[in-house]
Amino acid sequence: MMDAAEPTGIALLGATGSIGASSLDVIARHMDRYRVVALSAHRDVAAMERLCRRFRPALVAMADPHAAAALRRQISDLGDTAVAEGAAGQAAVATHAEAQTVIAGIVGAAGLAPCLAAVEAGRRVLIANKEALVVAGSLIMNAARRSGAVLLPIDSEHNGLFQCLPARPGQPVSLAGVERLVLTASGGPFRDRDPATLSEVTVAEACAHPNWSMGRKISVDSATMMNKGLEVIEACRFFGLPADQVEVVVHPQSYVHALVQYRDGSTLAQMGNPDMRTPIANALAWPERVAAGVAPLDLVGAGRLDFAAPDDQRFPCLALARAALKAGRGATAALNGANEVAVAEFLRGGLRYDRIAGVIEETLAARPAEPDDTLEALIGHEQWARRQTTESLQRGRHR
Ligand SMILES: NC(=O)C1=CN([C@@H]2O[C@H](COP(=O)(O)OP(=O)(O)OC[C@H]3O[C@@H](n4cnc5c(N)ncnc54)[C@H](OP(=O)(O)O)[C@@H]3O)[C@@H](O)[C@H]2O)C=CC1
Ligand SMILES: CC(=O)[C@@H](O)[C@H](O)COP(=O)(O)O
Ligand SMILES: [Mn+2]
């Protein structure tokens, strides 16, 4: 039996990324409460070496076996850190015996298997990895019901919703009296850009989010507003509401992250400076509160809060995501696969920014029959979409 005063063991998936850095910043402020026991990444050996030296985890895992071998050499002087590799290594981090809390911070569907492993192992799981919910959200939620895992959203909007909904330890979030969930969208770097120039968008421009500092893939998703499409799906899966009860409103300042509208006319909003340490600290400590290193919102300094309806012409990815949500779970899995491939190709320099939506639409239009609602079938469908999109890009019609 664990001593009540003992720090909570943390396993952090995606430790070398943006969510990883924000999580470790919060954890480092509270080493009396939290202890890093396991970390994972893909192949950034130098970053992982720094984390090993600073946090001395018992286990680290690199998905890439060459990176794992290099890391073993680099930290051979640290006798107390084991290095695992491949998919088994990610699962070992996700289910580490000394970790009561797991942070799912891997980018993309690559994070699904370790996230699900943590849920099946009954851990408290803080989910940033929205793609895992988009591809297999119903299976993750069902697994949590079976294992007793407590799932807490740390995507800022979903954490904002969570904070505006009544929730008590040991009980599911209550949706009693809820009419609508509202997610805010910043509009990204191209909210006001002349549409005629979107064909010239550079990778640097697309990754320069006006309010948030994030990894490259989610930054591009914010620019196309696919991020909000993925988040609508994420909200439906996580909170169990139909699509027509999840709305998006453009709010360029990113001070209001989400709102819950109740039957009695009340609208509750969660606000704060755009800094991921707040939702991470909220979920780490829930139902308590800990300092996150984030200043409270200066309302007078903020001055004004603007809201507008999303522009469907400028942001076709939002409608694509809504259509996929309507079409079924296979369609949302395929949407994710197509988007990951298209965004990677844009980041590689092989696809124009303004062609991303068309590439995804073409893949969705070619989709075979809706798959069964099993993990294998959904992953198979997502992988079909990746192959289909890759082939379509190779045919070169989108250049
Ligand atoms: N950044 C943010 O503020 C927010 C992020 N999110 C979500 O959180 C997730 C992470 O985003 P972000 O931190 O920005 O992304 P980053 O690109 O900054 O970091 C990604 C992390 O995932 C690891 N990774 C990538 N591929 C694999 C793989 N195949 N196996 C194991 N690990 C892998 C990377 O390792 P390596 O460094 O070795 O490549 C890195 O640690 C995404 O799903 C995103 O949508 C949600 C809300 C806000
Ligand atoms: C910080 C976070 O949660 C991101 O998902 C953020 O919402 C991106 O901003 P957009 O509103 O521009 O998508
Ligand atoms: Mn978000």
Nearest ligand to residue 216 Cα = 1
| Pocket of ligand 1, beta carbon within 6 A | 14-20, 40-44, 63, 90, 105-107, 110, 128-131, 155-156, 212, 214-215, 217-218, 276
- Sheet bearing 82-85, strands edge to edge: 82-85, 59-62, 34-41, 8-13, 101-104, 124-127, 150-153
> pTM above the 0.90 mark?
yes
Please state the atom number of ligand 1 nearest to the C-alpha of residue 108.
Answer: 43
Mutate to test the pocket of ligand 1, among 49, 214, 232 (most ligand atoms within 8 A of CB): 214
Q: What spacing in Å lies between the alpha carbon of 105 and ligand 1's midpoint?
A: 5
The DSSP letter of residue 162 is: H
Tell me the residue type at 138: S
The reported pLDDT for the residue numbered 170 is 87
Tokens standing for residue 44: 């950034």
Alpha-carbon torsion (246, 249, 254, 255), positive or negative: negative
Please state the atom number of ligand 2 nearest to the C-alpha of residue 221.
Answer: 13
Query: What residue's CA is closest to ligand 1, atom 2?
Result: 214
Ligand 3 (ion): residues with CB under 5 Å are 155-157
The reported pLDDT for the residue numbered 361 is 98
Please state the atom number of ligand 1 nearest to the C-alpha of residue 22.
Answer: 3
Please state the atom number of ligand 2 nearest to the C-alpha of residue 276.
Answer: 1
The reported pLDDT for the residue numbered 140 is 98
Query: What residue's CA is closest to ligand 1, atom 19?
Result: 17
Give me the domains of the chain, ranges plus CATH numbers: 8-153 (3.40.50.720), 170-274+297-315 (no CATH), 328-399 (1.10.1740.10)
For residue 118, count CB atoms less than 10 angstroms from its CB and return exposed for 0-12, middle for 13-18, buried for 19 or more.
buried
* 107, 218 Cβ separation under 8 angstroms: yes
H helices then E strands: how many in the chain? 16, 11
Q: What spacing in Å lies between the alpha carbon of 141 and ligand 1's midpoint?
A: 21
Mutate to test the pocket of ligand 1, among 13, 16, 19 (most ligand atoms within 8 A of CB): 19
Please state the atom number of ligand 2 nearest to the C-alpha of residue 214.
Answer: 1
The reported pLDDT for the residue numbered 277 is 98
Report strand pairing: 246-250 vs 256-262: unpaired
Query: What residue's CA is closest to ligand 1, atom 33?
Result: 42
Q: What spacing in Å lies between the alpha carbon of 23 and ligand 2's midpoint?
A: 17
Q: What spacing in Å lies between the alpha carbon of 107 and ligand 1's midpoint?
A: 3
- Residue-level pLDDT, tens digit, the chain, 399 residues: 445 579 999 999 999 999 999 999 999 999 999 999 999 999 999 999 999 999 999 999 999 999 999 999 999 999 899 999 999 999 999 999 999 999 999 999 999 999 999 999 999 999 999 999 999 999 999 999 999 999 999 999 999 999 999 988 888 899 999 999 999 999 999 999 999 999 999 999 999 999 999 999 999 999 999 999 999 999 999 999 999 999 999 999 999 999 999 999 999 999 999 999 999 999 999 999 999 999 999 999 999 999 999 999 999 999 999 999 999 999 999 999 999 999 999 999 999 999 999 999 999 999 999 999 999 999 999 999 999 999 999 998 666
Q: What whole-number distance in Å separates Cα of residue 21 and Cα of residue 236? A: 28
Please state the atom number of ligand 2 nearest to the C-alpha of residue 223.
Answer: 12
Beta bridge partners of 62: 41, 85
Query: What residue's CA is closest to ligand 2, atom 11?
Result: 185
Mutate to test the pocket of ligand 2, among 227, 280, 318, 339 (most ligand atoms within 8 A of CB): 227
Mutate to test the pocket of ligand 1, among 12, 13, 18, 50 (most ligand atoms within 8 A of CB): 18
The reported pLDDT for the residue numbered 396 is 83
Element (H, E) at 361: helix 356-365
